Structures are given as structure tokens and as C-alpha cells.
A and B are shown apart, each in its own frame.
Chain A
Amino acid sequence: MRRQQRQRLAFLLVSGVAWAVTIPIMLVIGLIATRGLEGMSWAFLTEMPREGMVEGGILPALVGTVWLTIGTAIVAMPLAIGAAVYLAEYARPGPLTSAIRLAIVNLAGIPSIVYGLFGLGLFVLYLQLGTSIVAGALTLGLMTLPVVISTAEEAIRAVPQEFRLTSLSLGASRWQTIRHQVLPHALPGILTGVILGLSRAAGETAPILFTAAAYYLPSLPSSPADPTMALPYHLYVIATQVPNMPLAPQFATALTLMLIVLSLTVAASVVRSSYRRRREW
């Protein structure tokens, strides 16, 4: 039958396209993993860069990325979880709630370089925080908000209504119910959102370009008011700005960054799946 032949042809084409999409992903991961391992060593991760960054390691960039990520968590978590609690437990359908949702969608869509401009305008210049870890963490924190809010709201909504009703009927107040019944049960889901948000923040370059990142620093940052090197920006610098840079450390830097980001992503999905398995409702 012609219809059957057409279906066979269509399915063949469709699966061909699907492979054309996925095979390059494997190639990219394979390329960075194999070439990156050549330049990877304990010394590479724990030494300061030397000789105009051509020699030595990436310690200050690694430390800087860890600081920025911790700072991002401190900025984003309270605000995002608060917003998620509000949307899931307090907000009623209406123009205000729609406006909040529209704002969150748009926060998620604002280009990262625009966050960088905003961070430069507000944190670095207007609030005079200077190019610093604080300014970078504040910028990254705002950028991370929408991911964390949506995931956390979903986790809070997934807690069954009976839990709330039982708590309220036993005489607990609304906030006591949220604090002692809803949030503990939603915690793994909220955590998933936070880790996902941080994995994005750790890999971002554009928001820290004018707010936190330094091209090269001879020492580790000593306080949150200092500028810092960071892995994503360091990769950009050694790939495009440093003349005669050997390829091995570039690939090793890319691999380090990819491993940090992917291990956070994997951690998020492990938290999520173990929580789904344990869930008692």
C-alpha cells in the first residue's frame, strides 16, 4: 500500500533527523572530555596561572566560580522561595497574580547580557559596590530567580491539599501549616530548583562580564568586595584574548566548567527522582 510506504519513508526521515540532532551532542561531549583530560591534572586545578596564563593552573577562576555560585544561592534562595510560597499558597487568580506571572516569564527571557548591563548600572555604579563578587552574585541571583520560583512553586503545589486541611483543622494557623507541613514536604522539589538555578548561574559569562569578572588577578579574592576571576570568563579570555595559548589548558578549562555544571544538573535530577520514589502520597 502506498500509504504504508509513505509512512515508512517519513519515519525513516524523522528518525534520521533525530539522530542528526543528537549525534553532534555526543561529539561535543566526547571532544571536550577526551581533549580536556589531556591537560587535566591535580596541579592544573590547584595552581595559580603563570607566564601570562599560558602556564600553571586555574585555581583563582575555580575559587571565583565557587564564591559567585554561593553568593547567587544566598541572593536567590530567600527571594525565590518566598515568591513561590506566595504564588502557591496566598495568591488568588486576578490581575495582580497574572502580572507577577508575566513578570516571571519575562525575567526568564531577558538576555543575560542585559542582566549584565543592569548589574553594572544598579549594583556596580549606582549602589557603588564596584566590580565585585557581591555585585556579580546579586546580578546572577536575579537572573536565577525565575527558574527557582517556577520549580519551587510546582513542588509546593504538589503537596496534597489534605495535609493543609488536616493541619488547619487541628488549629494550626495558615503560616504554621505552611512552615511545618507544606515546606518540609516540598523541600526536595525546592532544592531541585535551587540546584538547577545554580548550575545555570555557574556557567554564565555575560552577567559577570562588567559586574565581577577580572581578566587576571595575581591572588585569590580576599573579601566579597573584591573582583574575581571566574571559569566561564577565564575560558573566554584564554581562548580568544591570550596570544600563543596552547589548546590543552583551554580544553581542560572547558571540561572543568562542564563537569561543575553537569554535576549540579545531575545532583538536581537525583534529588528529584529519589524524592519521587520516597513520596508517601
Chain B
Amino acid sequence: MDASRAALSRTTRPTRSGNRMEPWIERAVRLAGLSAIFIVALIFIFLIRLSLPALTRIPLSAFGDLRWYPIEERFGLVSLVVGSLLVTAVAVGIAVPLGLVTAIYLGEIAPPWLGDILKPLIEILAGIPSIVLGFVGWVALAPLVQRLGAPTGLTAFTGGLILAYMALPTIISIAEDAIDAVPKSYRDGSLALGATRWQTIYRVVLPAARSGIVTAVMLGIGRAVGETMAVMMVTGNAAHVPRGTSMLFQPVRTMTATIAAEMGEVARGGTHYHVLFLIGALLFLITFAINSVAARLVGRRRTGEGGG
């Protein structure tokens, strides 16, 4: 430890009990700091430990089976992965453009008083529990989707739409921070050169905020892939690979919903049980990769010259 601190503690005479306890308190604080690493490692170890039996009992090629039918010991993950991808793709396709444009509106165009109304509204959206949004999707949105002509309202599209609204607050708030962080001098320079406000936003502010916007998109994707309850309520949960032009309007089943729906009824220690943990381990790895890359982008932005 540094010398000045050592000198400091020699010259001070704190109360005895404080003195004796202090090293222990500081050790406890340090342990708490390290706990995050410990917990992530523990989660990973437990997921791997509980999914290993699945990998030893089933040949890898069996996971490529198109059918997920645990009763017949058919554990094809394709339909679940495709379900997750499809729902996430719809969500991202809706939430990213809407979120970015809303962030531009709030950061650059909206009068401050309107921002003061809309921002809390978006914060409220972020606070609504996913099960409540799923419920709204179930009772209100699904019937609307069905009226569009789908055989059922519980489809990949319905799930993606609900997910989009759940990812929007994340995307909007991070993108807005990124836009706010663009120095005012950039805008002044552009306006002084005769550009309109829109040209300034489009050609100067957005490119300067690029890395923050990418982060927002990635965290939005991470949020969408991992969402469970709302998706389970509105996607119909049919474990088949959707095909054809109407694939968005067919029921699908995501990886998360499969775990949530089946773990409660499965025999502990059976193959099915371990395969569900394997799906959990996959989800962990996917979100870990997304978040690590996003964190790296944020770090680069902080250490780089941009932002500020």
C-alpha cells in the first residue's frame, strides 16, 4: 500500500475498536467488490455442470434435429433457436429505427417542455413488468394481429412487437446519452457553415455518436434475446420451424420460453432436464458475448477522444 497512507494511520489515534476492526471491514469491502466476478463464474460453472450430462448422453448431431419433442427423446434445438432469432429480429427491426428516431427527436428537435413529458413516460415503460406487457399483448394485441388475417394472434410478429416495446427504453436512453455527448462545437461548426439543423443531425451528430448508438442497439438485442415471460405469453409456443412468406405470422417457441414452460414439469436428472440447462448455458454465452462487446465499445468511447 502507499506510504502516505501508512504514515497517516501511524499518526492517527482512532478509537481502539475502530482500529482493530478496520482491516477486517476493508477486507469485507474488497470481497464484496470481487463478488461480481465470483457470481458470474459461479453461474457459468453451474450451467455447464448441469448441462454436461446432456452433451454426454446425446450425440451433438441430434441437436440439429428439426423437431423438439422431448417425450420421444428428440431434442432438436433448431426450431427453438430459429424462434428466438425470428422474434429478436422482428423486435430489433422495429425497436432500433423507432428508438433511434425517438432519441433524435428528444435530444435535438423536441422543445424542452415536451421532453419533460415524454421522457418520464418512457421511463414508466421501462418500469412496467414484462409480465404486465405480456398480459396486454395476450388480451389486447393478439386479437388485433389475428384480425390482420393470421390463423392465430399468437405469432412471432406479436412477440417481436411486444419485445420491441420492452427494448425501446434501453435503446432510447443510451442513444440519447450518445447524442448528448456529441460536443456542441460540432453542431455550431456545422450550422455556421450553412447546414440546416436536419443536415447537422444527419451528417454530423449521428456519425459522431455512432459508437454509442451501436452500443444501444447491442444492449437492445441482448434484452430481446433474454426476455421470457412476455414472449412466452404471446408467441404461441409451437416448437416448429416457421417457413414460407407468412413465417412472421406463425406461432414460434423461443429458447427462453422453452425453459420457462418445461422446467417445472420435467423429471430432475433426466436427459430433458439437462438439455434445458444446456439451452440456459447457450443463452448465457450469447448474452455474455453481446454484453462484453458492448462494454468494450463503451470503454473505447470513454478512453478515446470523442464524446466528453
Interface residues, chain A, with chain B CB atoms under 8 Å away: 3-4, 6-7, 10-11, 13-15, 17-18, 20-22, 24-26, 28-29, 31-32, 78-83, 85-87, 90-91, 99-118, 120-122, 125-126, 142, 145-146, 149, 168, 171-176, 199, 202-206, 209-210, 232-233, 235-236, 239-240, 247, 250, 254, 257-258, 261-262, 265, 269
Known: A109-B291, A173-B12. A79 touches B122 (CB 8 A): no
Please classify the interface of chain B as helix (H, G, I), strand (E, B), loop, or mixed, using the class held by over half of its residues: helix
Q: How many Å lie between the Cα of A34 and that of B28 in the bound state?
A: 50
Known: A6-B198, A14-B104, A22-B121. A107 touches B39 (CB 8 A): yes
Write out, one digit per residue, whether chain B residues 97-136 have a CB within 8 A of any chain A CB (1) or not (0).
1110110111001100000001001111101111111111
| Least distance between A198 CB and chain B CB atoms (Å) | 12
Which of B62-70, B239-247, B282-290 lines the interface with chain A?
A: B282-290
Q: How many Å lie between the Cα of A232 and that of B9 in the bound state?
A: 52
The answer to whether B98 and A20 touch across the interface, beta carbons within 8 angstroms, is yes
Which of A11, A28, A106, A120 is within 8 Å of B288, CB to CB? A106
Question: Is B191 an interface residue, CB under 8 A from the partner?
Answer: no
The answer to whether B8 and A168 touch across the interface, beta carbons within 8 angstroms, is yes
- Chain A residues with CB under 8 A of B110: 15, 18
Tally chain B residues at the interface, Cβ within 8 Å: 94
The answer to whether A258 and B128 touch across the interface, beta carbons within 8 angstroms, is yes
Interface residues, chain B, with chain A CB atoms under 8 Å away: 5, 8-9, 11-14, 18-19, 22, 25-26, 28-37, 39-40, 42-43, 46-47, 49-50, 97-99, 101-102, 104-106, 109-110, 118, 121-125, 127-136, 138-140, 165, 168, 172, 196-199, 202, 219, 222-223, 225-229, 233, 256, 259-260, 263-264, 268, 276-277, 280, 283-284, 287-288, 290-292, 294-295
The answer to whether A265 and B123 touch across the interface, beta carbons within 8 angstroms, is yes
- Chain B residues with CB under 8 A of A174: 5, 8-9, 26
Q: Identify 14 new A-B residue pairs, CB closer than 8 A, beyond the known A257-B131, A261-B127.
A: A17-B98, A20-B98, A28-B128, A91-B33, A104-B36, A106-B40, A109-B287, A113-B259, A116-B259, A121-B50, A171-B11, A203-B131, A209-B260, A210-B263
The answer to whether A145 and B280 touch across the interface, beta carbons within 8 angstroms, is no
The answer to whether B280 and A114 touch across the interface, beta carbons within 8 angstroms, is yes
Name the residue on A nearest B229 (C-beta): A205
- Chain B residues with CB under 8 A of A79: 32, 35
The answer to whether A232 and B129 touch across the interface, beta carbons within 8 angstroms, is yes
Known: A111-B228, A205-B130. A83 touches B35 (CB 8 A): yes
| Least distance between B9 CB and chain A CB atoms (Å) | 6
Q: How many Å lie between the Cα of A265 and that of B136 in the bound state?
A: 21
